Amino acid sequence: MHKILIVEDEKAISNLINISLTSAGYLCECAYDGLQAADKIEITNYDLILLDIMLPKVDGYELLEYIKPMGTPVIFITAKASVTDRVKGLRLGADDYLVKPFEIIELLARVETVLRRYHKTETRIILDDLDIDTLSRLVKKNGIVVSLTKKEYELLLLFIQNKNIALFRETIYEKIWENDYMGDSRTVDLHVQRMRKKIGWEDKITTVYKIGYRLEI
């Protein structure tokens, strides 16, 4: 399980990120100022650090200089939205830069991308009665192989990565089919229905009225 440190002084934002990442299967810790974060980083090896820039005591730029020699990837999460700020953050060594306010699904996607870049993605996912080998793309339910199409497999991973989060149909379509959503939900609905039937998760991947679907685990 990947361990992530959330360095954010606004507790409401920190709690939201913590809850969302924990629901997605990550192990999270929080720090509310730069000194507290430095203390935690000194004694714990994290797979990723989510770092605000405007922090009490030690700001995010200074903390990044402390983190860089350790080789731990960092995503800046900040209200500083100008191009100059983005360029500065990336040039200092941040792996990504996310501006507040942001959608949780975007944060999850960026976390996954950075972890993959550092070869820290899970090669095996065990959730409920499913066992998924992400290298071979093999899915087993109670030890029995389930035959999924490429799109069905990608849908399953999308739901697992965003479990307990309601996903809009347009978001699902744009993520899986990599095209702009044109307002026709039949493609999404058909693939979701076929996938959840194959894995026997009709009661877990639920329809959310006027929104889309949610994996409830």
CATH of the domain at 39: 3.40.50.2300
Render pLDDT for 148-197 as a digit per residue (tens, 0 to 9): 999 999 999 889 888 888 899 998 998 888 887 777 788 999 999 999 99
Name which residue leads in pLDDT, 126 or 202.
Answer: 202
Q: Are residues 51 and 110 in the same domain?
A: yes
Q: Tell me how far apart the alpha carbons of residues 40 and 86 are, in angstroms, rounded to a whole number.
A: 26
Q: Are residues 53 and 141 in the same domain?
A: no
Render pLDDT for 46-80 as a digit per residue (tens, 0 to 9): 999 999 999 999 999 999 988 988 889 999 998 88
Q: Which domain holds residue 33?
A: 3-117
Render pLDDT for 3-41 as a digit per residue (tens, 0 to 9): 999 999 999 999 999 999 998 888 999 999 999 999 999
Specify the DSSP class assigned to residue 28.
E
Specify the DSSP class assigned to residue 116.
H
Q: Are residues 45 and 73 in the same domain?
A: yes
Going by C-alpha positions, the residue among 168, 132, 180 that lies closest to residue 152 is 132
Going by C-alpha positions, the residue among 207, 213, 203 that lies closest to residue 171 is 213
Q: Any alpha helices (H) in 1-95, and if so which ranges?
A: 11-23, 34-43, 60-67, 83-91
